[in-house]
Protein backbone atom coordinates (compact mmCIF):
# COMPACT_ATOMS: atom_id res chain seq x y z
CA UNK A 1 0.00 0.00 0.00
CA UNK A 2 2.72 2.42 0.99
CA UNK A 3 4.53 1.61 -2.23
CA UNK A 4 1.43 2.42 -4.30
CA UNK A 5 1.03 5.68 -2.43
CA UNK A 6 4.58 6.66 -3.15
CA UNK A 7 4.17 5.74 -6.82
CA UNK A 8 1.02 7.87 -7.04
CA UNK A 9 2.66 10.77 -5.25
CA UNK A 10 5.69 10.68 -7.54
CA UNK A 11 3.54 10.44 -10.67
CA UNK A 12 1.67 13.51 -9.49
CA UNK A 13 4.91 15.34 -8.82
CA UNK A 14 6.20 14.51 -12.29
CA UNK A 15 2.96 15.82 -13.81
CA UNK A 16 3.19 19.04 -11.78
CA UNK A 17 6.82 19.57 -12.79
CA UNK A 18 6.33 18.65 -16.43
CA UNK A 19 5.22 22.09 -17.70
CA UNK A 20 8.35 23.66 -16.20
CA UNK A 21 10.50 20.89 -17.69
CA UNK A 22 8.86 21.52 -21.04
CA UNK A 23 9.71 25.23 -20.75
CA UNK A 24 13.37 24.28 -20.29
CA UNK A 25 13.31 21.89 -23.25
CA UNK A 26 11.68 24.55 -25.45
CA UNK A 27 14.10 27.22 -24.29
CA UNK A 28 17.22 25.25 -25.28
CA UNK A 29 15.92 23.73 -28.53
CA UNK A 30 15.87 25.39 -31.94
CA UNK A 31 12.43 26.46 -33.11
CA UNK A 32 12.77 24.15 -36.14
CA UNK A 33 13.10 21.20 -33.75
CA UNK A 34 9.97 22.22 -31.86
CA UNK A 35 7.89 22.72 -35.02
CA UNK A 36 9.23 19.83 -37.06
CA UNK A 37 7.57 16.45 -37.44
CA UNK A 38 8.02 13.78 -34.81
CA UNK A 39 7.40 14.02 -31.11
CA UNK A 40 10.46 14.50 -28.87
CA UNK A 41 10.01 14.83 -25.14
CA UNK A 42 13.68 15.75 -24.63
CA UNK A 43 16.03 18.19 -26.34
CA UNK A 44 17.79 16.82 -29.41
CA UNK A 45 20.42 19.55 -29.47
CA UNK A 46 21.27 22.42 -27.14
CA UNK A 47 21.24 26.00 -28.44
CA UNK A 48 21.55 29.30 -26.66
CA UNK A 49 20.13 31.58 -29.35
CA UNK A 50 16.74 31.66 -27.62
CA UNK A 51 18.53 33.32 -24.73
CA UNK A 52 20.86 35.63 -26.60
CA UNK A 53 18.50 36.79 -29.34
CA UNK A 54 15.82 38.47 -27.19
CA UNK A 55 18.40 39.82 -24.73
CA UNK A 56 20.12 41.67 -27.57
CA UNK A 57 16.90 42.94 -29.17
CA UNK A 58 14.78 44.01 -26.21
CA UNK A 59 15.45 45.99 -22.99
CA UNK A 60 15.09 42.86 -20.85
CA UNK A 61 17.78 44.06 -18.44
CA UNK A 62 15.84 47.28 -17.85
CA UNK A 63 12.69 45.28 -17.13
CA UNK A 64 14.59 43.17 -14.61
CA UNK A 65 15.96 46.31 -12.92
CA UNK A 66 12.45 47.81 -12.77
CA UNK A 67 11.01 44.59 -11.33
CA UNK A 68 13.72 44.37 -8.68
CA UNK A 69 13.35 48.04 -7.73
CA UNK A 70 9.55 47.84 -7.46
CA UNK A 71 9.57 44.56 -5.52
CA UNK A 72 12.31 45.60 -3.07
CA UNK A 73 10.94 49.08 -2.34
CA UNK A 74 7.38 47.74 -2.05
CA UNK A 75 8.49 44.97 0.33
CA UNK A 76 10.40 47.34 2.62
CA UNK A 77 7.61 49.94 2.79
CA UNK A 78 4.73 47.45 3.03
CA UNK A 79 6.36 45.37 5.74
CA UNK A 80 7.27 48.41 7.85
CA UNK A 81 3.76 49.88 7.50
CA UNK A 82 2.12 46.55 8.34
CA UNK A 83 4.36 45.80 11.32
CA UNK A 84 3.68 49.22 12.84
CA UNK A 85 -0.05 49.00 12.19
CA UNK A 86 -0.15 45.41 13.41
CA UNK A 87 1.39 46.50 16.71
CA UNK A 88 -1.06 49.40 17.06
CA UNK A 89 -4.11 47.25 16.31
CA UNK A 90 -2.93 44.38 18.52
CA UNK A 91 -1.47 46.12 21.57
CA UNK A 92 -2.34 49.82 21.79
CA UNK A 93 -5.74 51.24 22.67
CA UNK A 94 -6.81 54.24 20.65
CA UNK A 95 -10.17 55.71 19.59
CA UNK A 96 -11.64 54.14 16.43
CA UNK A 97 -9.34 51.13 16.59
CA UNK A 98 -11.96 48.46 15.97
CA UNK A 99 -13.83 50.36 13.29
CA UNK A 100 -10.62 51.10 11.38
CA UNK A 101 -9.50 47.48 11.64
CA UNK A 102 -12.80 46.14 10.34
CA UNK A 103 -12.80 48.66 7.48
CA UNK A 104 -9.27 47.65 6.48
CA UNK A 105 -10.00 43.92 6.69
CA UNK A 106 -13.17 44.32 4.61
CA UNK A 107 -11.01 45.46 1.67
CA UNK A 108 -9.50 41.94 1.55
CA UNK A 109 -12.46 40.85 -0.56
CA UNK A 110 -12.37 43.78 -2.99
CA UNK A 111 -11.22 42.71 -6.47
CA UNK A 112 -8.48 44.93 -7.94
CA UNK A 113 -10.66 45.58 -10.97
CA UNK A 114 -13.32 47.28 -8.83
CA UNK A 115 -11.04 50.13 -7.82
CA UNK A 116 -8.67 50.25 -10.80
CA UNK A 117 -10.33 53.23 -12.52
CA UNK A 118 -10.40 55.51 -9.43
CA UNK A 119 -6.87 54.36 -8.50
CA UNK A 120 -5.73 55.18 -12.01
CA UNK A 121 -7.23 58.67 -11.68
CA UNK A 122 -5.36 59.15 -8.39
CA UNK A 123 -2.07 58.07 -9.94
CA UNK A 124 -2.67 60.48 -12.83
CA UNK A 125 -3.47 63.30 -10.38
CA UNK A 126 -0.28 62.62 -8.41
CA UNK A 127 1.72 62.71 -11.66
CA UNK A 128 2.94 59.14 -11.16
CA UNK A 129 1.73 57.61 -14.44
CA UNK A 130 4.50 55.69 -16.16
CA UNK A 131 6.73 55.67 -13.09
CA UNK A 132 7.75 52.89 -10.72
CA UNK A 133 6.19 54.83 -7.85
CA UNK A 134 2.82 54.74 -9.57
CA UNK A 135 3.07 50.94 -9.40
CA UNK A 136 4.34 50.87 -5.81
CA UNK A 137 2.31 53.41 -3.86
CA UNK A 138 -1.33 52.26 -4.39
CA UNK A 139 -0.29 48.71 -3.45
CA UNK A 140 1.01 49.78 -0.04
CA UNK A 141 -2.57 49.30 1.18
CA UNK A 142 -2.06 45.56 1.82
CA UNK A 143 -4.78 44.20 4.11
CA UNK A 144 -3.64 40.58 4.19
CA UNK A 145 -0.19 41.42 5.57
CA UNK A 146 -1.69 43.80 8.12
CA UNK A 147 -4.09 41.09 9.25
CA UNK A 148 -1.28 38.54 9.64
CA UNK A 149 0.85 41.06 11.58
CA UNK A 150 -1.96 41.86 14.00
CA UNK A 151 -2.85 38.20 14.60
CA UNK A 152 0.79 37.35 15.28
CA UNK A 153 1.34 40.26 17.68
CA UNK A 154 -1.83 39.53 19.66
CA UNK A 155 0.00 36.43 20.90
CA UNK A 156 2.88 38.44 22.41
CA UNK A 157 2.35 38.56 26.22
CA UNK A 158 1.33 41.99 27.53
CA UNK A 159 3.65 41.51 30.52
CA UNK A 160 6.71 41.82 28.31
CA UNK A 161 5.56 45.18 27.01
CA UNK A 162 4.46 46.40 30.47
CA UNK A 163 7.79 45.43 31.99
CA UNK A 164 9.59 47.48 29.38
CA UNK A 165 7.21 50.37 30.04
CA UNK A 166 8.04 50.27 33.75
CA UNK A 167 11.71 50.59 32.81
CA UNK A 168 10.70 53.88 31.22
CA UNK A 169 11.20 52.87 27.60
CA UNK A 170 9.27 54.79 24.95
CA UNK A 171 6.75 52.88 22.81
CA UNK A 172 8.95 53.25 19.77
CA UNK A 173 11.85 51.76 21.68
CA UNK A 174 9.69 48.91 22.99
CA UNK A 175 8.50 48.23 19.46
CA UNK A 176 12.07 48.08 18.17
CA UNK A 177 13.83 46.27 20.99
CA UNK A 178 11.12 44.04 22.50
CA UNK A 179 8.42 43.40 19.90
CA UNK A 180 10.30 43.18 16.60
CA UNK A 181 12.88 40.61 17.81
CA UNK A 182 9.96 38.31 18.70
CA UNK A 183 8.46 38.76 15.25
CA UNK A 184 11.14 37.11 13.11
CA UNK A 185 8.86 34.33 11.78
CA UNK A 186 6.18 36.92 11.02
CA UNK A 187 8.64 39.19 9.23
CA UNK A 188 9.89 36.25 7.15
CA UNK A 189 6.36 35.40 6.02
CA UNK A 190 5.49 39.04 5.29
CA UNK A 191 8.68 39.61 3.27
CA UNK A 192 8.29 36.42 1.26
CA UNK A 193 4.63 36.90 0.41
CA UNK A 194 4.89 40.60 -0.37
CA UNK A 195 7.88 39.90 -2.60
CA UNK A 196 5.95 37.19 -4.43
CA UNK A 197 2.86 39.36 -4.94
CA UNK A 198 4.84 42.34 -6.20
CA UNK A 199 7.21 40.31 -8.37
CA UNK A 200 4.37 38.42 -10.05
CA UNK A 201 1.94 41.35 -10.31
CA UNK A 202 0.69 42.00 -13.80
CA UNK A 203 -2.62 43.89 -14.15
CA UNK A 204 -1.68 47.03 -12.23
CA UNK A 205 1.78 47.62 -13.82
CA UNK A 206 0.10 46.98 -17.20
CA UNK A 207 -2.21 49.91 -16.46
CA UNK A 208 0.39 52.30 -15.03
CA UNK A 209 3.47 51.70 -17.21
CA UNK A 210 3.30 53.05 -20.77
CA UNK A 211 6.83 53.25 -22.16
CA UNK A 212 8.40 49.83 -23.01
CA UNK A 213 11.60 50.91 -21.24
CA UNK A 214 9.68 51.27 -17.98
CA UNK A 215 8.00 47.83 -18.07
CA UNK A 216 8.37 45.21 -15.38
CA UNK A 217 9.30 41.65 -16.38
CA UNK A 218 5.66 40.49 -16.33
CA UNK A 219 4.48 43.28 -18.64
CA UNK A 220 7.63 42.79 -20.74
CA UNK A 221 6.77 39.10 -21.21
CA UNK A 222 3.39 40.06 -22.68
CA UNK A 223 5.23 42.49 -24.99
CA UNK A 224 7.55 39.64 -26.08
CA UNK A 225 4.57 37.35 -26.68
CA UNK A 226 3.22 39.84 -29.16
CA UNK A 227 6.66 40.15 -30.81
CA UNK A 228 7.48 36.45 -31.17
CA UNK A 229 4.09 35.02 -32.11
CA UNK A 230 4.43 31.27 -32.62
CA UNK A 231 8.18 31.19 -31.83
CA UNK A 232 8.01 29.95 -28.27
CA UNK A 233 11.72 29.20 -27.72
CA UNK A 234 12.70 32.77 -26.86
CA UNK A 235 9.49 33.33 -24.95
CA UNK A 236 10.08 30.28 -22.73
CA UNK A 237 13.72 31.26 -22.19
CA UNK A 238 12.77 34.78 -21.07
CA UNK A 239 9.90 33.50 -18.97
CA UNK A 240 12.26 31.05 -17.22
CA UNK A 241 14.76 33.84 -16.53
CA UNK A 242 11.99 35.92 -14.94
CA UNK A 243 11.07 32.99 -12.65
CA UNK A 244 14.56 32.45 -11.23
CA UNK A 245 14.35 34.90 -8.27
CA UNK A 246 10.96 33.50 -7.23
CA UNK A 247 12.17 29.90 -7.47
CA UNK A 248 15.25 30.69 -5.36
CA UNK A 249 13.12 32.41 -2.71
CA UNK A 250 10.76 29.45 -2.74
CA UNK A 251 13.54 26.90 -2.45
CA UNK A 252 15.08 28.76 0.50
CA UNK A 253 11.90 29.56 2.41
CA UNK A 254 9.62 26.78 1.27
CA UNK A 255 8.50 26.00 4.82
CA UNK A 256 7.42 29.59 5.43
CA UNK A 257 5.36 29.59 2.24
CA UNK A 258 3.50 26.48 3.22
CA UNK A 259 2.99 27.56 6.83
CA UNK A 260 1.90 31.07 5.84
CA UNK A 261 -0.63 29.67 3.40
CA UNK A 262 -1.92 27.11 5.85
CA UNK A 263 -2.29 29.77 8.53
CA UNK A 264 -4.29 31.95 6.16
CA UNK A 265 -6.55 28.98 5.60
CA UNK A 266 -7.34 27.90 9.14
CA UNK A 267 -8.22 31.14 10.95
Partner 1 sequence: MATVRTRRAREALTGLAFAAPAVAVFAVFMFWPLIQVFWISLQQTRGFGIAKWVGLQNYQEILSDKIFWTALWNTALYTAISVPLCLVAGLAAALLLNRRMPARGLIRAVYYLPAVISGVSSALIGAWLFNEDIGLVNRVLDVVGLGPVPWQSEGVPALLSLVAISLWIGLGFNMVVYLAALQGIPREVFEAARCDGASRWATLRRITIPQLGPTTFFLIVIGIINSFQVFDIVYVMTGGGPGNSTTMLVTYAYSAGFEQRQQGYASAIGVVLYLIVLVMTIVQWRVNKRRDVA
Q: Does 16 bind partner 1 (CB under 8 A)?
A: yes
Q: Does 160 bind partner 1 (CB under 8 A)?
A: no
Q: Does 99 bind partner 1 (CB under 8 A)?
A: no
Q: Where does this chain touch partner 1 (CB under 8 A) — which range of 44-52, 58-66, 169-177, 181-189? A: 169-177
**Residue choice 98, 113, 155, 168 for contact with partner 1 (CB under 8 A):** 113
Q: How far is the CB of 31 from partner 1 (least distance, A)?
A: 9
Nearer to partner 1, 24 or 57 (CB): 24
Residues 133-152 that bind partner 1 (CB under 8 A): 137-138, 140-141, 143, 146
Nearer to partner 1, 65 or 243 (CB): 243
Q: Does 109 bind partner 1 (CB under 8 A)?
A: yes
Q: Does 2 bind partner 1 (CB under 8 A)?
A: yes
Residues 40-79 that bind partner 1 (CB under 8 A): none
Distance CA 179, CA 85 (A): 13
CB atoms within 10 A of CB 154: 11
DSSP string covering the chain, please? -HHHHHHHHHHHHHHHHHHHHHHHHHHHS-HHHHHSSS--SS-SS---HHHHHHHHHS-HHHHHHHHHHHHHHHHHHHHHHHHHHHHHHHH---TTHHHHHHHHHHGGG--HHHHHHHHHHHHHHTT-TTSHHHHHGGGG--HHHHHHHHHHHHTS-HHHHHHHHHTT--HHHHIIIIIHHHTHHHHHHHHHHHHHHHHH--HHHHHH--SGGG--HHHHHHHHHHHHTT-HHHHHHHHHHHHHHHHHHHHHHHHHHHHHHHHHHH-
Q: How far is the CB of 167 from partner 1 (least distance, A)?
A: 15
Residues 241-260 that bind partner 1 (CB under 8 A): 242-243, 246-247, 249-250, 254, 257-258
Q: Where does this chain touch partner 1 (CB under 8 A) — which range of 45-53, 54-62, 168-176, 183-191? A: 168-176
Q: How far is the CB of 9 from partner 1 (least distance, A)?
A: 5
Q: Does 154 bind partner 1 (CB under 8 A)?
A: no
Burial of 4 (C-beta count, 10 Å sphere; 0-12/13-18/19+): exposed
Nearer to partner 1, 58 or 199 (CB): 199
Residues 193-222 that bind partner 1 (CB under 8 A): 196, 199-200, 202-203, 207, 218, 221-222
Amino acid sequence: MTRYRLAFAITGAVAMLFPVYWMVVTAISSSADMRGPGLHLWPTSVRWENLTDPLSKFPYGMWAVNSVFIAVVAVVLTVVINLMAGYAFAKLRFPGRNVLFILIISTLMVPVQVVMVPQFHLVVDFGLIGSDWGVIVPRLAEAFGLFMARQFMMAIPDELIEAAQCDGSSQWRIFRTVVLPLCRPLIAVLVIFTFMWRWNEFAWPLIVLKDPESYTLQVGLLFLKNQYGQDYGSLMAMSLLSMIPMIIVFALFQRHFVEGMARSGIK
